Amino acid sequence: MVFTKECFRLRSSSFRLDRAVTMVNVPKTRRTYCKKCKRHQLHKVTQYKKGKDSLYAQGKRRYDRKQSGYGGQTKPIFRKKKIVLRLECVEPNCRAKRMVPIKRCKHFELGGDKKRKGQVIQF
């Protein structure tokens, strides 16, 4: 089979379209190992959110001082955050929590509808 430039162009464009509509859909509960109970238990899954930044931390003070005045943005803005899942054991006496990082993704959904074959995706 002979591949031409046009063939490669068509294949790559269809690949890009497929990747654009995919999103990560994670169920709200997961049965996984609990270190405190020492056995598999049901865990409640939530998305980890970072706390509010302190205005008086040394790095923030240094950054604000560097940003002030003329000259625009001085440091690179981080845009590639990984999604972190926060797992909490549902056992009443345990309630142990742990963080599990997953890969980077453009769209993240927690407990969304499961994808079925032959259905059109609507936004």
Q: What is the pLDDT along the chain (123 residues), one digit of tens a residue?
A: 555 555 555 455 444 544 555 689 999 999 999 999 999 999 999 999 999 999 999 999 999 999 999 999 999 999 999 999 999 999 999 999 999 999 999 999 999 888 778 877 666
Contact 34, 94 (CB under 8 A): yes
Architecture (CATH level 2) of domain 23-52+80-113: Roll (3.10)
Question: What's the confidence (pLDDT) of residue 15?
Answer: 47
The per-residue pLDDT for 43 is: 97
CA 88 to CA 65: how far, in whole Å? 40
63: which strand partners?
Answer: none
Between CA 96 and CA 90 the distance in angstroms is: 8
Report pLDDT for 1: 54
| Whether the Cβ atoms of residue 45 and residue 63 lie closer than 8 Å to each other | no
Residue 114: its pLDDT value, please?
81
The pLDDT of residue 17 is 46
